[in-house]
Amino acid sequence: MRLGRIASPEGVAFVSIEGPPDDPAQAVAKEIAEHPFGTPEFTGRQWPLADVRLLAPILATKVVCIGKNYADHAAEMGGEAPADPVIFMKPNTAIIGPYAPIQLPADADPVHFEGELAAVIGRPCKDVPAARAAENILGFTIANDVTARDQQKKDGQWTRGKGHDTFCPVGPWIVTDLDPSDLAIRTAVNGEVKQNSRTSNMIHDVGHIIEWISRVMTLLPGDLILTGTPAGVGPIEDGDTVSITVEGIGTLVNPVVRKGKS
């Protein structure tokens, strides 16, 4: 199932997207009553996907991220991959949906893209063994861990550099029946491929990541877990378009603007 969140003439709703998602004229968004967790119930209302606007597919209480989870990315950042997962967080106010603009702060240069696979938590959980992590996952989506690299380096910790509004594009939807162990992940800027890897290259797999994070904090339905980015990160500028594709999910597209522009 592909779960999304839309803005329609009747308001904002969770939906199941049926039909070919790469052909909005043929795909249909079927409204889900209340929320997508558990066994979704449908209201009976539906819209052609072409007639609605896709939003970020989930409203997360928190965004938990894993740093340096691909050895090649750790190397390009000038260090070795850590033995244990490195956790950091982005505020939920950083979340935006497909085609919403990434806004570059006036005091940040350079700002980098980081294409990532993201897991969406499906129920409250704590101290989850890696072998049972899948039981607590609603599905998977795509995220861009946008980073003001100069601020990250200057501060010595990552909150400001990764926490700006619009610095967590997510979407276009959540796929519930997906094996995350070996998926192609690719990021392009203005059509030029910058990152090209597979999730099998992650140092810590999704199960281990969920186990590690849930030892520290309770995870709630809708929480986003960003699993790390492969090598190839680089700057984005005003006027660019970033496209992140994950096999089995689709493509997340966002334009880039300098803050204050639209």
Residues 18 and 141 in one domain: no
Domain holding 24, by residue range, is 2-55
Residues 73 and 17 in one domain: no
Residues 145 and 167 in one domain: yes
In this predicted model, what pLDDT tens digit does every residue of 11-47 receive, in sequence order?
Answer: 999 999 999 877 877 899 999 999 999 999 999 999 9
Tell how strand 11-18 and strand 28-32 pair up: antiparallel
Domain count, the chain: 2
Q: Please choose, from the candidates 21, 6, 7, 13, the residue with its C-alpha nearest in 3D space to the C-alpha of residue 245.
A: 21
Q: Please choose, from the candidates 7, 10, 23, 35, the residue with its C-alpha nearest in 3D space to the C-alpha of residue 174.
A: 35
In this predicted model, what pLDDT tens digit does every residue of 195-246 receive, in sequence order?
Answer: 999 999 999 999 999 999 999 999 999 999 999 999 999 999 999 999 999 9
CB proximity list for 70: less than 8 A, separation 6 or greater: 81, 197, 201, 202, 203, 228, 229, 230, 231
The neighbour count for residue 260, using CB atoms within 10 Å, is 9
Q: Please choose, from the candidates 24, 26, 38, the residue with its C-alpha nearest in 3D space to the C-alpha of residue 173.
A: 24
In this predicted model, what pLDDT tens digit does every residue of 96-143 receive, in sequence order?
Answer: 999 999 999 999 999 999 999 999 999 999 999 999 999 999 999 999
Q: Environment class of residue 156 by beta-carbon count within 10 Å: exposed (0-12), middle (13-18) or buried (19+)?
A: exposed
Residues 40 and 121 in one domain: no
pLDDT, mean over the chain = 94
CATH number of the domain bearing residue 126: 3.90.850.10
pTM of the model: 0.96
Paired strand residues for 63: 90, 224
Paired strand residues for 188: 193, 243
